[in-house]
Structure 1
């Protein structure tokens, strides 16, 4: 996944170079190429912390100044804060704004204003569909959901001899198309298995404590749950703590997550 993340970041920088060349009309560029903003949704998710490092590395390596703004309040993403940050970035007339949107719908009006003022917008990691952007660099999120669905079906068949059982499905914030598209792919696959009962819950703001509370309440009511599918590793880590508190042993409940970041790989190694 880290290799894919590097590729996504590199695409962003290559596009910045194209925007800059277009704006110069072929003239020789100055020593400093200009200011770029990166609007990050959070820094509690390993994917996002790694993305921030790589974007800074590539953007500054290409000769631009990078300023990062993080839309995080406490342990949750803050849509209102990101809107304020986006408006602030627009007033500084950067050569481009890279944004991983907390809420793809909420940012649409500000993105339209930025593009109206000639500021290119690059949607990174999270798709924005409510308005046009200049470039989108995202992972194949629906494909992630399809792959997860196929693996989950395999795991349930391995456990029961057929694809059946109960799944607790914990999404991230539905304002983020990353989790929405994963869910779309997952549900598309699981529609072929009528003997699987899926309960979908939402961890608002991608906050780990929300996922933990969901799992805690759910497992009290449904202790024989077969599998928990969380849409990010930091959610999975919080859920594992709940399983341990409720005296589940490793393997009692199958855990599936996305992204393949180090935190998730550590959980796999621990069983």
Structure 2
């Protein structure tokens, strides 16, 4: 009887050893290796790059990855998030469309034991976001503002120059950080009269372009040129990203810019999209802030791996990113700027693009 009991206990132990129930962090092993990734849209080059790079790197580490794009439709992204939770994805990487629209779905995710990494866009107004991975967004704006200062020789007293300012999508928290970083550099020269904003438009409620759409920037630039520049020219345009810069350049071309007598203004951007690198080479755009998406994706892969292995997640900022409910532990990657003088070193020599892709 005792031998039979011992054999029974031994069989139970062998079964438990053969089928481990829990992995690191208390998650079931099957679900601990499932990662859901939500990206906003395929209409912008960078989100395609980010999503595919994350997917390939995580799959190489043995994760099962469900990557979805929402075509910039908030309701679609909410539904996708709910479906990822239902499907048992316990680690979620989310680049939100509307930074405040996911609260309900994230509460459900937390109740199911999910951990959430906000990807490059801080998710606002909820406690149910665990980590944030991004570039230093204030520094992005600082790089743009400083480029304008240096390019125009403002420190040596040059001017006045006519400036117009564009803002990013009003539902993206990063747009406000980009704007603040840039305007902190430019405001002293506005106050001195070296930079003149003929439209007087600087408030985000006026200058913001919904969904970062090029056509929205083109329409606003058309209106500015018609209303304020019929008898003068614009010398510099602060554009927070490349999609807006594309729209701005289209408007400027239609207004006759790009000639010896009416050269393109100094124009900033961000993301180093292929078409915008070509625009820099052609003299249509002056610079773009380069955020190497490989760097950000690699950091998120590391964070996911740390979560999956039950390790402490590495962050380098625990003070800056308050989402109105909590300060979200963050990892900030460093951006740099590219222009016609250094694009080859940054973008070609590093393997980010081939020369054929941008020529």
TM-score (norm 1): 0.81
Q: What is residue 14 of structure 1 aligned with on the other side? A: none
Identify the match of residue 130 of structure 2 among 109, 131, 134: 134
Asked if 2 retains the 8 angstrom alpha-carbon contact of 1:172 and 1:231, the reply is: yes
Aligned positions, number: 245
Asked if 1 retains the 8 angstrom alpha-carbon contact of 2:137 and 2:177, the reply is: yes
Asked if residue 110 in structure 1 is aligned to residue 110 in structure 2, the reply is: no
Within-5 A mapping of 1:206-221: 206-221=212-227
Identify the match of residue 167 of structure 2 among 155, 171, 185: 171
Q: What is residue 78 of structure 1 aligned with on the other side? A: 73
Q: What is residue 66 of structure 1 aligned with on the other side? A: 65
The whole-number CA distance in structure 2 between the counterparts of 1:49 and 1:169 is: 28
Shift of 1:225: 1.7
Shift of 1:197: 3.7
Q: What is residue 270 of structure 1 aligned with on the other side? A: 282
Change in Cα spacing, 1:67 to 1:241, as seen in structure 2 (3 Å) is: same
Asked if residue 238 in structure 1 is aligned to residue 250 in structure 2, the reply is: no
The whole-number CA distance in structure 2 between the counterparts of 1:226 and 1:100 is: 34
Higher-Rg member (1/2): 2
The whole-number CA distance in structure 1 between the counterparts of 2:161 and 2:238 is: 13
Q: What is residue 36 of structure 2 aligned with on the other side? A: 37
Shift of 1:100: 0.4
The whole-number CA distance in structure 2 between the counterparts of 1:57 and 1:43 is: 17
Q: Decide which moves more: 63-72 or 136-145.
A: 63-72
Shift of 1:159: 11
Asked if 2 retains the 8 angstrom alpha-carbon contact of 1:157 and 1:164, the reply is: no
Which whole-Å deviations, capped at 9, do the CAs of 1:210-229 have from their partners, x for residues lacking one? 11111111111222222122
Shift of 1:99: 0.4
Asked if 2 retains the 8 angstrom alpha-carbon contact of 1:156 and 1:164, the reply is: no
Q: What is residue 228 of structure 1 aligned with on the other side? A: 237
The whole-number CA distance in structure 2 between the counterparts of 1:160 and 1:134 is: 46
Q: CA RMSD in A?
A: 2.5
The whole-number CA distance in structure 1 between the counterparts of 2:160 and 2:170 is: 27
The whole-number CA distance in structure 1 between the counterparts of 2:213 and 2:85 is: 28
Change in Cα spacing, 1:181 to 1:163, as seen in structure 2 (3 Å) is: farther
Change in Cα spacing, 1:55 to 1:204, as seen in structure 2 (3 Å) is: same
Asked if residue 46 in structure 1 is aligned to residue 41 in structure 2, the reply is: no
Asked if 2 retains the 8 angstrom alpha-carbon contact of 1:41 and 1:101, the reply is: yes
| Corresponding residue SS for 1:192 | helix
| Corresponding residue SS for 1:175 | coil
TM-score (norm 2): 0.63
Change in Cα spacing, 1:169 to 1:96, as seen in structure 2 (3 Å) is: same
Q: Decide which moves more: 172-181 or 161-170.
A: 161-170
Which whole-Å deviations, capped at 9, do the CAs of 1:16-37 have from their partners, x for residues lacking one? xxxx632359xxx66x963221
